[in-house]
Amino acid sequence: MIEGDKKLEVKKNEKNNYEFSLLLDKDKNIIINYANKEHVVFDLSVVKDKKPKIEILSAPNIVNESSLSFISKTTDDYGIKKIILNINRPISFKHFEEEYLSFNLYLNEAMQQNTKLVESYFYKYLADIIWAGSDTYIEIIASDFINQSIKFSDRIKIPKKNFNNKTATEILKIREKLAKNKIGKNEGKEDFTQLFNANQYLLNDNNIRVIYKETLNLFNDTNIIKFSLKNELFKNLYILAEVIDEGEFYQAKKN
């Protein structure tokens, strides 16, 4: 077997069964000789792998003022390795640890299946994250098995739930001021306790009382605020506001 002026090593497995390996990094001409009498010529061409393509079938949409939904279609000529969605950190939260909130839309790292087309349906409740209500960008990033990637970007407002109860909205205002570094933890704790001193009747509800105590313990834990989406204080303040706003309906929904 000859490639240009170079002979290639051929392994004989059995009669009329041969094996060879060749790195095909460019177009090549291969000649197979048999007993110096016959030969077969192969003209091998390299077909360049194209980048994946992303098509939005259903534009990003806010559902029930609380969830983000969209449908995307990704195609690749050889196969898709992974598709991720990033919700970028809003400017008003630039001091937060996370640069983005990330979700896997598709993952095929072991190439267990040859998927050239993937439709991704995304639906996620986002109203409880501290960035809710902020303008930002989402990015859908798709990559193939040679790490070629393509990115789709779109501007969105992260869904934010509207609360009707006055005390619940005041709790969320304290939460927002803390997260945007407009007040310190001690001031936030003072505002929080004053709010409940003025609304003592709320603590007659067992659910509210338990979450209130947990939240107060988080205020007492340290004077330093951890600016992160994972901050338990931010999470508890939202849950407390939601329990107060929804009342008996929250307990029914939980069960």
**Conformational region of residue 65, where left means phi above 0, alpha means psi within -120 to 50, and beta covers everything else:** left
Per this entry, what is the length of the chain?
Answer: 255
8 A C-beta contact, residue 49 and residue 77: yes
Residues 24/45, Cβ–Cβ less than 8 Å: no
As a whole number of angstroms, the distance between CA 247 and CA 87 comes to 31
Q: Distance (Å, rounded) from C-alpha 214 to C-alpha 212?
A: 5
Question: Which residue has tokens 């960008």?
Answer: 137
DSSP H helical ranges for 108-205: 166-179, 185-197
Orientation of helix 232-246 relative to helix 206-221, angle to 10°: 160
Q: What string of pLDDT tens digits covers the 255 residues of the chain?
A: 555 566 667 677 777 676 766 666 666 666 666 666 556 666 666 667 788 999 999 999 999 999 999 999 999 988 899 999 999 999 999 999 999 999 999 988 665 566 889 999 999 999 999 999 999 999 999 999 888 999 999 999 999 999 999 999 999 999 999 999 999 999 999 999 999 999 999 999 999 999 999 999 999 987 789 999 999 999 999 999 999 998 845 444 444
User: Which residue has 């902020």 as its token pair?
Assistant: 134
Q: What Cα–Cα distance (Å) separates residue 85 from each residue in 28, 71, 153, 154, 237?
A: 40, 12, 10, 11, 27
Delineate the domains of the chain, giving CATH numbers in brackets: 2-44 (no CATH), 53-157 (2.60.40.10), 166-254 (no CATH)
pLDDT at residue 111, rounded to an integer: 57
Picking from 39, 32, 34, the residue whose alpha carbon sits closest to that of residue 8 is: 32
CA distance 220 to 92: 26
Continuous segment of H or E residues that includes residue 209: helix 206-221
Q: What is the pLDDT of residue 3?
A: 56
